[in-house]
Amino acid sequence: MKNIKNLIFVFLAFSLLYACEEVEREPVVMPGDAPVMSQPTAGTQVVFQRVNAEEESVTFTWNESDFGFPSATVYNLFVDEAGNNFNNAMELATTSELSVSISHATLNEKLMTMGLPANEPVAIEFRVEATVNPKYSLYSQPVNMTVTLYAASFPPIYMIGASVGGWDTSKAVEVASAGEPFQYITIWNFDASNGSNFRFFSQPEWSASLGGYDVFTSYPEDLLEPATGDDDPNFNFIGTAGWYEIKVNTETGTIEMTTTDEPGMYLTGDATHGWNWDEPVTALTYMSYKIWEGDVAFTQDGAFRLFGQKDWGPTSYGYDVVVNYDTDYIDIAEGHGDPNWFFLKPSGTYHVVVNLRTNTIEISE
């Protein structure tokens, strides 16, 4: 009899443990008064615009939930595409208050990460979850809203032609988005020694021609002229060979060009050739607008920093600017007065890509 009682106690203990584990893993939907959202109202339509996205906001408000007992309630605001039953919901905010305001810029960024399209109305739904401890939950009814997002980034366009590298789609020159609709920028070397004509493309393929002088009617006439002898509306480059910053506006059909230097990127420090500018200096190759890459011989536990010229000034880039990097390879050089990195891997040659569009340095073996 004593053994039977012991078995019963063991069974009950395991049952209680299992029940506790289940409660901790899954919130329980409790009876009570769920929160009701009062703002935004159902059917609200909002068009987000980049120009004032940081100043404009959407305010979400709801009433207090009641679990039937005194509680410290936390409210979680969720969003999902309409009709998705919140199966892929994203949490937007957590608060103990009964309202929260979120800027258009933040909402636009988060909704874009959900894969929602830009520049067209999209139906979405919001709801509030009221939680306690956080084992118990009450959910508001969904509130639908229609939003039109702006594109957070824009695909590049391309230059192809003899004066910018050759009539070969594999040599297409990327002209990066300047961060605003229709506006593009790059720095590139123009050389007419192997032919002077070129034009613009939306993709690096022949079927994606944007055009030349037929589309871009405002251009520097001392540097470009219509290649009227070609079958296509190409430009001829007629300026002095060299590096130019070129700005393109596909909406206004405008091209601006100014002379500049080849963009440089150098790694200097005892992790590379040393803290000096004696040749050979460790240099990366300019690949595209604000992007450089190349192979670098590193010394383990040495320090280094990035420089925009073969000199200490005016421009350098350390961990204070280039904030995205793999700490398996490099990390903050503690104790240094400058924002240098230590190189952590064994000494050897590594491939390095520096991208100042995303403030990233990638190092691979």
Residue 9 domain-assigned (yes or no) = no
300/352 same-domain check:
yes
- My answer on whether 232 and 335 are in the same domain is no
In a domain, 11, yes or no: no
Do 168 and 142 belong to one domain? no
- pLDDT score at 30: 53
The CATH number assigned to the domain holding 36 equals 2.60.40.10
Threshold 0.75, pTM exceeds: no
Is 239 in the same domain as 333? no
Q: Judge whether 8 lies within some domain.
A: no
Residues 106-119: tens digit of each pLDDT: 999 899 889 898 88
Q: Which of 214, 237, 259 is the last residue of a domain?
A: 259
pLDDT tens for 154-182 read: 899 999 999 999 999 999 999 999 988 89
Query: How does residue 31 score in pLDDT terms, banded at 50, 70 and 90?
Result: low
**pLDDT at residue number 260:** 98
Q: Would 187 be classed as within a structural domain? A: yes
Q: How confident is the model at residue 79 (pLDDT cuts 50, 70, 90)?
A: very high
Residue 178 lies in domain: 157-259
Q: Model confidence over 264-286: pLDDT tens digits?
A: 999 999 999 999 999 999 999 99
What total of structural domains would you count in the chain? 3
Same domain as 282, residue 255: no
Q: Is residue 20 part of a domain?
A: no
Does residue 15 belong to any structural domain of this protein? no
What 3 state SS string does 4-43 have?
A: HHHHHHHHHHHHHHHHHHHHHHCCEECCCECCCEEECCCC
Picking from 6-10, 95-99, 217-221, 231-235, which range would have the lowest pLDDT averaged per residue? 6-10
Same domain, 79 and 169: no
Domain closes at, from 148, 179, 200 = 148
Based on the domain organization, do 46 and 144 belong to the same domain? yes
Rounded Cα distance between 242 and 189, Å, is 5
Q: Is 298 exposed, middle or buried (0-12, 13-18, 19+ CB in 10 A)?
A: buried
User: What does DSSP assign to residue 207?
Assistant: G
Give dist(CA 282, CA 264) in Å, integer. 11
Pick from 196, 78, 219, 183: which is nearest to 139 by CA? 78
Beta-ladder partners of 159: 173, 200
Residue the block writes with tokens 């919001």: 126
228 is written with which tokens?
Answer: 């009227």
Looking at the fold, whether 134 and 162 belong to one and the same domain comes out as no
Q: 46-60, 206-220, 244-258 — which is least confidently predicted?
A: 46-60
Strands (E), 86-142: 90-95, 99-103, 121-132, 136-139
Domain boundary among 201, 229, 259: 259
Residue 51 has a pLDDT of 81
The CATH number covering residue 216 comes to: 2.60.40.3620
